[in-house]
A = this chain, B = another copy of it.
C-alpha cells in the first residue's frame, strides 16, 4: 500500500496559533477563565476586599515597599500618569534613548509642556552612564527634574543598567527623580525598584504580567511623593494620591473599576508568586539564552544578526533581529501563513526597505521550553522554506541550553 497521492500542498498553519510578539504575550488559560464572569458589585463584596492583597502582590513583583497606583490604560497612560504627578509645564527632563520607546516617552513629556533633553545612544547599544552623569553634572541649577530611563526598549531589545544610572546620579549629587519604564521587562528581566534606587516605575499588564491589555501601573516612592506634593496642579484622573491610598474603592481607579482585569490580574499574580520572582527571572534567562544560542548558530552563515551584540545588554523578554531586507518581513509572513506562528515586526528600526529587515521574538510571561522550541523550530522551517542562508544546528544548540547546558 502506498501513501495516497498528495493532491494539494497542505497548509500546516491549521492548529493552535502562537503569538510570539513582544506583547501582548501568551496568557495562561486560568487568567482568561477568571475574566469570563458576570460583572460584580462595585460597591461592596469580594472585589473590594481583594484590593489590599492585590496591590501588595503587585509591589512584590516590582520589588518595592512603596506605593502603586493602578490605571485603566496602556503603557502610554502610565507614562503620562507618572509625568503628570511629577513634572510641571516648563520642567526639564533628561531622556537617554536606546530605542523607539524612549522617544515615545519623551514625546509624552513634551506634550505636557516639559523641556526634554534627549541623549541618543542609537539602537544597538545601551546607555552610556557616563554621558548621563555628564549631563546631570552640567545641570548645576538642578533644572532637570527627572531622568526617564527605559529599562528594556521593546523595539531594540536593549536592556539598560538602571542601578548604574542611580549610582551616577548619586555620584554627582543630582536630586532629579529616577523614573524607569519596565513595560517590557517587568516579570521577565530582573528588576529591583527599591534596591536599585528607582523613584518611579511604570509598567503595563499585557506582557510579563500575562493579562489582556487594559491596565497599567505607576509605582512610586516617598521622594516621588514629595515631588508630587510640590506640583501646582495634578489632574483628578492622573492624581496618584487617592489611587494609592484611597478612602473608598472607586478612588483606586478614579471611577468605575476595571472589574474583569482585576480578576485576571489576581490569578496572574498568584501564578507569578507561586513560581517565585527568582524562578521567573531565571526561567526567562534560560529561555533567552536558548534563543541566543540558536541565533548564534544561524548567524554563523548568512545574514541573520541579533540586534544587540553583547548578551549582557540583551533583554530576556524580547529579541530584536535582522535579516537582509526584505527577508525579515518574508520570514514573518511565511511562518504566520504556514505555521501559525506570529513574530513581531521590527518597530522603528529602519525606514523604507530597511523596515523589512528587522523582526522580533517576544518571549515574555507565560512561556516555557516547548514553546520556545516551537518558536525556533518555526523560524528554522521558514529559513529553509525561503532559502535564506543560515547556519545548521541552531535548534540542537537551543535544546542543549534548555536542557541545562
Contact = CB atoms under 8 A, between A and B. Distances in A.
Interface of A: 1-4, 6-19, 21, 23-29, 32-33, 35-44, 72-77, 79-80, 84, 89, 107-108, 111-113, 126, 161, 163-164, 190, 204, 206, 212-214, 233-237, 239, 253-261, 271, 275-276, 278-283, 285-287, 311-313, 335, 338-342, 344-345, 366-378, 380-382, 384-385, 392-396, 398-400, 402-405
17 contacts: A8-B282, A14-B280, A17-B368, A21-B41, A24-B39, A35-B212, A74-B257, A79-B237, A338-B369, A339-B370, A340-B369, A370-B377, A373-B395, A380-B399, A381-B400, A384-B399, A395-B399
Contacts of A367: 14-16
Given A10-B282, A399-B381, A369 B237 contact: no
Nearest to A190: B4
A14 B270 CA distance: 13
A189 to B, nearest CB: 9
Contact of A257 (B213, B257, B384, B396): B213
B378 A373 contact: yes
B369 A380 contact: no
A381 B366 contact: no
Residue of A342, A370, A393, A405 with most partner-chain B CB within 10 A: A370
Nearest to A260: B212
Contacts of A313: 1
A30 B2 CA distance: 35
Copies in the complex: 4
Nearest to A271: B14
B312 A2 contact: yes
A293 to B, nearest CB: 12
A374 B370 contact: yes
Contacts of A7: 278, 282
B380 A395 contact: yes
Given A237-B76, A370-B340, A402 B12 contact: yes
B39 A237 contact: no
Contacts of A374: 370-371, 373-375, 377
Contacts of A25: 39
A23 B76 contact: no
A237 B15 contact: no
A368 B282 contact: no
Given A8-B279, A237-B108, A345-B43, A213 B339 contact: no
Contacts of A1: 126, 161, 163-164, 312-313
Nearest to A107: B236
Given A39-B213, A42-B213, A376-B377, 19 more contacts: A1-B164, A1-B312, A3-B285, A9-B282, A15-B366, A35-B36, A36-B36, A43-B345, A44-B345, A72-B74, A80-B236, A108-B236, A212-B260, A213-B259, A214-B261, A341-B370, A373-B374, A384-B405, A394-B396
